[in-house]
Chain A
Amino acid sequence: MAAQQLLLNVDNVSRVFGGLKAVSDVNMQIQDGELVGLIGPNGAGKTTLFNLLTGVYEPSGGKIHLSGESVGGLRPYQITKRGAARTFQNIRLFGDMTVLENVMVAYHMHARHSLFTSIFRLPGHFKGEAEMREKAVEFLKIFNLDGKKDEIAKNLPYGEQRRLEIARALAARPKLLLLDEPAAGMNPQETVDLMNLIRWIRDEFKITILLIEHDMGLVMGVCERIYVLDHGQIIASGTPEEIRTNPHVIEAYLGQEV
């Protein structure tokens, strides 16, 4: 895996909430095509770090580069346009829209027809809309959701909602996909399916994935490299093997099975 390119560079990033350092001096380098896990005890600052990477919060200090471009402090939609898409810990689908429309929203930022074109129904509108629809349907096929494309998203069973959220994020064609606890609320069988799906996504779409997970089996099984966050700081990083035996990690998880 030599000669890879640095995709995400997190350089000394901190975030302070009212005097409390939720994330402090985090450094993280992710290469193109890696599948990386981010773990840590509850309240370690994992989701906060995700929020910093995706622009929900602005870093109090430090720099974030995506493909060499500084993204720290940009709005979330700007960061998404620059190639990072995410899912959420608590699913955030567009509940009253159909499955297909959910995915089509992700194509919105690539749309070439303007509001003006749509209002006056100029030819560009029909062409653009048809393309989007076609692409979205194709996309849903990959995730086995095309049969349900006209269902209202909130009526899907839980597992399919999770899958739809991942599909929606992928439809934005990111270079970096951030998954926030994708296995939350899933049973063991669903978790195994999800592991396979994640690995397959990485290979099929040739993208980089960073995921937060509580399910150690999933993290250890699927990730090539793991960062461990505790009290807002990275206390260890390395391969699953290294992490499993790292004394700092064991200490942080004391009493918990690693």
Chain B
Amino acid sequence: MFEYIVQQLINGISIGSIYALIALGYTMVYGIIKLINFAHGDVFMVGAFVGYFAAKAGLGLFWSLILAMAVCAILGVLIERLAYRPLRGAARIVILITAIGVSFLLENLGIYALGPQAKGFPEIVTKTQYTLFGDVTINSVQIIVLAVTVILMVLLQYVVHKTKMGKAMRAVSYDMEAARLMGINVDTTISFTFAIGSALAGAAGVVFAVMYPSVDPLMGIIPGLKAFVAAVLGGIGIIPGALVGGLVLGIVETGVSSAGFSLWRDGAAFAILILILIFKPSGLFGKNVREKV
């Protein structure tokens, strides 16, 4: 039993860390412009496709990842510039609907250009099982997923806390107007946030595609929604919260599936979402803020 639980934990953490990577983008963007960027899951999909073509062209995992991250960063910035920036200052709902539109657009451009069928992802990582102890195993893909997540997480912490840009990001998310008055270039900072968040989603796309070796234009919807749940769970806008939220969600999901309710797995994610929203909308790590009257 103990071994079984450890095994499920390992499985849960590896899928959970992918959610965490995507959730980071959600949370950073929400933190800075209070937008639920619905298109984020589709940026993840684009990342997976870039990885797919890179791998097809013979690139290894490392360069596929780098390429996907770069393309997604550019895509993220473009989306922000073209669709969201003209709406700066508009109501959040207006931007939210725009984000839904961008999401549709990416999905359907994907279907139009690449066809709706799923494509098998080339095997760029040889899958080997390692036995940890007893019956508990971990495979090379899971190790890579964890390694990629940890490395990116450390890099992100560095960027956010040790660089000038990171400081600007925190300032803008705290108070955009004050940051502007203090001479921070708000537009650049927001673009930078989109670039980083989207690059993380791109990386998540590649490792996700390596793990479930297939890609299709609608693959971003469900992981995107779940990552959003993870972000809310951890407290949207809070970077460590996204990490914890992703891991918790991954573990819960794996638990629900392994208990024989795999068809309810997606339901569990949404149930968590609703419970959190109703009982602690600020998330596990958030503070409650109430409207000033």
Contact between A and B in the complex (any CB pair below 8 Å): yes
Q: Mark B253-271, 1 if CB is under 8 A from A, else 0.
A: 0000000000000000000
Looking at chain B's contact residues, the main secondary structure is loop
Query: Which residues of the partner chain B approach A88 to less than 8 Å between Cβ atoms?
Result: 293
Q: At the interface, yes or no: A56 with Cβ under 8 Å from chain B?
A: yes
Q: At the interface, yes or no: A47 with Cβ under 8 Å from chain B?
A: yes
In chain B, what residue has the closest Cβ to A54?
B293
Of residues 245 to 293 in B, which have CB atoms within 8 Å of A's CB atoms? 293
Of residues 31 to 70 in A, which have CB atoms within 8 Å of B's CB atoms? 47, 51, 56
Query: Which residues of the partner chain A approach B293 to less than 8 Å between Cβ atoms?
Result: 47, 51, 56, 88
**Bound Cα distance A47, B293 (Å):** 8
In chain A, what residue has the closest Cβ to B287?
A18
In chain A, what residue has the closest Cβ to B291?
A56
**Bound Cα distance A88, B293 (Å):** 8
Q: Mark B90-131, 1 if CB is under 8 A from A, else 0.
A: 000000000000000000000000000000000000000000
Please give the distance in Å from B31's CB to the nearest CB on chain A.
22
Of residues 230 to 255 in A, which have CB atoms within 8 Å of B's CB atoms? none
Please give the distance in Å from B93's CB to the nearest CB on chain A.
15
**Bound Cα distance A51, B292 (Å):** 10
**Bound Cα distance A51, B290 (Å):** 13
**Bound Cα distance A56, B292 (Å):** 10
In chain B, what residue has the closest Cβ to A92?
B293
Query: Which residues of the partner chain B approach A47 to less than 8 Å between Cβ atoms?
Result: 293
**Bound Cα distance A56, B293 (Å):** 8
In chain A, what residue has the closest Cβ to B288?
A18
In chain B, what residue has the closest Cβ to A47?
B293
Query: Which residues of the partner chain B approach A56 to less than 8 Å between Cβ atoms?
Result: 293
Please give the distance in Å from A221's CB to the nearest CB on chain B.
27
Query: Which residues of the partner chain B approach A51 to less than 8 Å between Cβ atoms?
Result: 293
In chain B, what residue has the closest Cβ to A88?
B293
**Bound Cα distance A88, B292 (Å):** 11
**Bound Cα distance A51, B293 (Å):** 8
Please give the distance in Å from B58's CB to the nearest CB on chain A.
59
In chain B, what residue has the closest Cβ to A56?
B293
Please give the distance in Å from A95's CB to the nearest CB on chain B.
13
**Bound Cα distance A51, B291 (Å):** 12
**Bound Cα distance A71, B172 (Å):** 42
Please give the distance in Å from B160's CB to the nearest CB on chain A.
27
Please give the distance in Å from B113's CB to the nearest CB on chain A.
43
Q: Mark A154-174, 1 if CB is under 8 A from B, else 0.
A: 000000000000000000000
**Bound Cα distance A76, B191 (Å):** 43
**Bound Cα distance A246, B18 (Å):** 67
**Bound Cα distance A88, B291 (Å):** 14
Of residues 196 to 223 in A, which have CB atoms within 8 Å of B's CB atoms? none
Of residues 133 to 191 in A, which have CB atoms within 8 Å of B's CB atoms? none
Please give the distance in Å from B240's CB to the nearest CB on chain A.
22
In chain B, what residue has the closest Cβ to A17?
B290
**Bound Cα distance A56, B291 (Å):** 10
Please give the distance in Å from A111's CB to the nearest CB on chain B.
26
**Bound Cα distance A47, B291 (Å):** 13
Of residues 74 to 114 in A, which have CB atoms within 8 Å of B's CB atoms? 88
Please give the distance in Å from A131's CB to the nearest CB on chain B.
32
Please give the distance in Å from B182's CB to the nearest CB on chain A.
24
**Bound Cα distance A45, B293 (Å):** 12
Please give the distance in Å from A234's CB to the nearest CB on chain B.
21
Please give the distance in Å from A227's CB to the nearest CB on chain B.
20
**Bound Cα distance A56, B290 (Å):** 11
**Bound Cα distance A5, B248 (Å):** 60
**Bound Cα distance A47, B292 (Å):** 10
**Bound Cα distance A174, B173 (Å):** 43
Please give the distance in Å from B293's CB to the nearest CB on chain A.
5
Of residues 211 to 240 in B, which have CB atoms within 8 Å of A's CB atoms? none
Please give the distance in Å from A16's CB to the nearest CB on chain B.
14
In chain B, what residue has the closest Cβ to A76?
B293
**Bound Cα distance A52, B156 (Å):** 44
Please give the distance in Å from B258's CB to the nearest CB on chain A.
42
**Bound Cα distance A231, B293 (Å):** 19
In chain B, what residue has the closest Cβ to A50?
B293
Please give the distance in Å from A100's CB to the nearest CB on chain B.
26
**Bound Cα distance A98, B293 (Å):** 23
Please give the distance in Å from A84's CB to the nearest CB on chain B.
15
Please give the distance in Å from A112's CB to the nearest CB on chain B.
30
Please give the distance in Å from A24's CB to the nearest CB on chain B.
19
Please give the distance in Å from A59's CB to the nearest CB on chain B.
15
Please give the distance in Å from B13's CB to the nearest CB on chain A.
35
Instruction: Give 4 closest A-B pairs by Cβ, nearest first.
Output: A56-B293, A51-B293, A88-B293, A47-B293
What are some 4 contacts across the A-B interface (CB < 8 A)? A47-B293, A51-B293, A56-B293, A88-B293
